[in-house]
Structure 1
Amino acid sequence: MRLRLNLTVQDLAYRFGTKRTVVARAFHTIINICNAVLVPCLLFWPEQELQRLTLPACFRQKYSKCVSVIDCLEVFIERPAKLKARAQTWSSYKSHNTAKYLISITPQGTVNFISSGWGGCTSDRHITEHSGYLDNINPGDVILANRGFDIKDTLSYYGATVETPAFTKGKKQLDAKDVETTRTLASVRIHVERVTGIVKNRYTILGGTIPIHMLEPDVTTKFSTLDKIVRVCCALINASESVVPVN
C-alpha cells in the first residue's frame, strides 16, 4: 500500500489502528528484506549467450548484439536546506530537485541494472562511468541510448559500442539514411521509456516528492531508503509481463 498507493505513514497507522512508529518500522524492515533477498533473485545481468538466444524479433535484424537499453529515471525529492545539496540535486530537465538513477533493460524488457541515486544535475555520462554499470559490459556488446549519453569513447575501452539517434547540430536536416536509422533505433529504444513509465505509474510512491530523510545512506549497505525502494520496485516489475513483444 505504501509503494503502490503512496499512502502516508500517518494514513496507514490510522487504517490499521496502530502507531506511526510501528508502521514506519514495519515498512523499513520489509524494504530491507526485499532489497537483500528479492532484488538479487529478480534483478540481475543475464549471460550474453542466453540473451542472444531469446532475442525478440524487433531486435534481431538491426541490433542482434544489443545487451542493454539505457536511460535515466528521475524521482522528485524535497528541496534540501543546504545550498550546495540544493544545487547538486537540481535538475534543469525536470525543473525540480531530483534523485537520478541510471536504469538499463535487456532487449527482452527486464531491468538488468539500476544504479544508486545521484543528484539531478549529474550528467548521464558521469553516472554511466561511475555507477558500476560498465562492469557488466563485454567486448562486442551493443548498447542503445539517447543523445545525452556521450559515452562512445568510454565504451570503446571495453570493446563495446553505443547506438544513439543522429545529431542535427550543424545540419539543416538529416539525410535519408540518418532518418531511417534514427527511426529504427527509436522504435526499440522506446521500450526503456515504457519500463520507467510503468515503474513510476504502478508504484506511485516514486511519482510523489520523496522526503529528504529517505536519502540518507545505510551504513551497512551504502544504499539510501529511496535507493532500496527503487530497486525493489524495479525487481517487482521484472516479475510482471514484459513490455517487449516476443514476435
Structure 2
Amino acid sequence: MNINEKLLSIYHNKWQDLSENLQNLKLSQYANPLILSFDNKRYESADIRVMIFGQETKGWLNGNGSLKTIDEASSRYYSFFCLEKFYKGYGRSSFWKAFRLFDKEIRNANPDKKIYFSWNNINKIGRLEGTGTDPEVEKIEKEFFSVVRSEVELFEPDIVIFLTGPSRDSKIRHHFEDAEFIPVDSTLEKRAIAKVKSQYLPEKTIRLYHPSYFGGFNKVRKKAISLITG
C-alpha cells in the first residue's frame, strides 16, 4: 500500500464510531474532520519532510452541514493543499502567512534538497462557524478519532512545527503522552517557544505561539527558524 492507502485505512477503522457519535449532536457544533492526503510521488522523493500543525479548521467542507465520506474529505484536502486550489482570502490568513514563511526559510537553508511539506491540525474537528472547538465534539474526537500520532508515524517527518500556542500543549500531550516542553533560550519564555521532546517526534520539533498572536509570534520566529534549520 502507498501512504495514502495506509492513511485511509487508519481513518476507516475509526470513522463509523466517530460519525455515529457526532450525528447525535447538532450539526452546528462541528465541521468535517480534517482528513489528510499526500502527493505520493513528492513524498517518496523528498529528502526532508516537514509537518506543520495549526489549531483547528474554521469550518471545513460542510455545505448543508452533513458529514462527507472519507474519500470526499481526502480528495478535498488534496485539491486544496496539494494542488494549491486555495479558498478566497487564503493569503490574508495569519496561519498560512506563517506556513509560507517556514516553507521559504527551510527551502533557503536546504537549496540542494527536495522538501515536502504537509499541513495538519492538533484538533481534527473545528466548529462549523468561528474558531475553537466545541467541548462535546472534542470529547468525542479524543475518544473515537485520536489519529494524529498515527499520521505522524506514517509521514515520518524530519521537522515538526506546532503553531498551536501554549494553551494547546495538553492537546499535544494527548497524542504524544511523553511530550516534554523544553525552554530554548533564557531570554524567551517556554510558553513563547519550546522544543518538544517525544519518542514519537523528530529531534527538530518545536512549539511556538500561534501566528495570530502577532507580537509574540514575530518575537520568536527568528529563533524558531534557527532551531529547525541549524
TM-score when normalising by structure 1: 0.24
> Which of the two has higher C-alpha Rg?
1
* TM-score normalised over the length of structure 2: 0.25
